[in-house]
Amino acid sequence: MTDSIKLNDIRCFAPHGCLDEEAIVGAEYQLDLELFGSFQRSFSSDDLNDTIDYVKVYSLAREELRKRSQLIEHVAERVAASLLRSIPMIESVSVHLAKENPPIPGDLKSVSVHIHRGRPA
């Protein structure tokens, strides 16, 4: 059985984008994570060691969000790879990353990417 834990609406200001001025002015980003694995032991133990530490997940994700990239696709992939590499209990992860108010002419709230990554077989 696979269970999931979600971290919703992680907010971060970061300098991503293809334009030079985006590195200077930055933009707001919104990140949602869904972590898949088996958390059966934590249901009865009520022990943090038997589940995923949300604080560690948050810290790892924020660390990757702060590193400059041109593409949000690249940032999302880095977040997924970092979580899978650092937290063995995560079997797979879904990453949804949105850039608010992108520099596109017109009325557009955000642009986003959604990826799902698992451990190599």
**Nearest one of 77, 46, 48, 45 to 64, comparing CA atoms:** 77
User: How do residues 42-73 score in pLDDT, each as one tens digit?
Assistant: 889 999 888 999 999 999 999 999 898 889 99
CB 48 within 8 A of CB 58: no
Domain extents in the chain = 3-118
**Nearest one of 38, 27, 86 to 61, comparing CA atoms:** 86
- Residue 54, beta-bridge partner list: none
**What are 78's two structure tokens?**
């880095």
Q: Which CATH class is domain 3-118?
A: alpha beta
**What are 15's two structure tokens?**
């300098």
Instruction: Give me the active site residues, please.
Output: 99
* pTM of the predicted structure, to 2 decimals: 0.89
User: How do residues 15-43 score in pLDDT, each as one tens digit?
Assistant: 767 667 767 767 889 999 999 999 888 88
